Chain A
Amino acid sequence: MVILRHELKQGRNALIIWTAVIAGMLSICILIYPEMKSQMDEISGMLSEMGSFSAAFGMDKINFGEFMGFFGVECGNVLGLGGAFFAALLGILSLAKEEKEQTAEFLLTHPISRKTVVAQKLGAMMVQIVLLNIVSAVVVALSAFMVGETPEVKTMAILLLAYLIMQVETAAVCFGISAFLNRGGLGIGLGIAALFYFLNIVANLTENVKFLKYITPFGYTESSYIIVNGSMEVRYLAVGLVLTAAGIWAAFWKYGKKDIR
């Protein structure tokens, strides 16, 4: 567990900053809910006139005036997009940074297998994602309590779990790509996270490209579906889990035989 501990230490500051920003923004979103609620008639009228824009964010299927509806759309975007960016950065930098910063030569000339390196880096990545999501969940619960709202526990848990799985998938896909890079992949990571997010928006806009929801992990984090059905959309989730496994497998396969120059 030496590399796992080392990775956690190396990523500590970034984790604290990302967690503080995401949890802080979630908290702000929830704290402004009472004020939003009082203006809900006006907001609902405005949303109904926005047509496909509302559909793009799933606001046409849920009641924005209820806490879960408000949370699903507003807070979902914060945790979804913010978490995806964080996960993508973790994944894309994890293996490639050792070569970019020329520390791979130091690390890989110790008596540890490449598989161990990949496994412990993967473990560290998952621990960081889980920690960010636990803190975010606690902040959500405390903020909801502060504004006197009692969210539906099961729906909220599924929603938060969906965001966690989405982040794990994003990180795993980027992790797999990271094994092929020998320079930093910051742009690639951010690009993938943004691409996943916008693919879901496009898929929501028109039925013709609904298939895009199979590609993007945001497909199964759709709050309107989760709130209405009480579960994630299994077909999208299943593809997501396959992509997660593929990303992890690619990382082990490529890094195990890669030339470190």
Chain B
Amino acid sequence: MTDALRPGSGQALLSARHLTTEFHLADKTVARALEDVSFDVLPGQTVGLVGESGCGKTTTLMSVMRLLPSNGRITAGNVYFNGNDLLALSERDMRAHRWKDMAIIFQGAMNALNPVLRIGDQIREAILLHDLMDRAAADRRVDELLELVGIPRGRRDQYPHQYSGGMRQRAMIAMALACSPDLLFADEPTTALDVMIQAQVLELLKEIQKKLGLAIVLVTHDLGVVAEMCDTVVVMYGGKVAEYGSAELVYNQPQHPYTQRLLESFPDLNRPPDSANRDLATIPGTPPRLNALPPGCRFSPRCHMSMDVCAQVTPGKVNVSTGSGVLHQVACHLLNEQEINK
């Protein structure tokens, strides 16, 4: 398992290496939305990208899919899919990869569905657009997909507005699965949904993953959803990876002060508070603006453990020695200190 972290390892389905993305803003400044982002997705695995809004979760997704808006550019790094560098491909070849090998479901299911087309027809269009099959075969495929995501066959000819939020998200998932991809990106797939519907959608994703051997990259700010779904977690802050590792380690032995505070600020039903002091932990200040990043560690201005070195030197990634060899990397000077002191 650990080997997957070393660059160029053969078994990863998707590896991002030192990905750096910049946006040219209207006021002529450059926002460095991503810097040196690296992570791996193994086949059949679920990886969670977490962080507050503006930390670069969605940009990571868009960079990997090469769907950045026109003012965005990947300035360094590589993205390997089954060993092929996606960033070296022509736009045409890339388009072949999208949907067939990796598909995406968005947060606003209503915006992504065409309101004047029947759900079934929209899914069929998605199939016909990417796959060479005749209409009859595509129709059969639509029925298969609808069954897979739990939409009753009778609702195939309905329009998006006749669907509830949860059903729409199911339709989106069906559409994403149209060309049997190996990798599914899900950008805040349950954020606008009620808890019960969220549970249904997450359960569906798990089932599909088991059935199809799909790898999932889940982008969300909900720490609960990540804990529920993910094997591996990438905690992002200010466009960089703060902590990266197996979900169990990141949640139970968080090393980065940002991860620690984030977890403490999450109101968890299963950690009932003592009634004497009910206040949740908070992180003072706001995330940095990406066109005016602080020097050194990007979290240092808000960090409760900040040292002199933090504001001067960007911390490198350190492997947390757990003995078991399970993946856990942290970018924090505190850890360097500890390592040195040992």
User: Are A and B co-members of a single complex?
Assistant: no
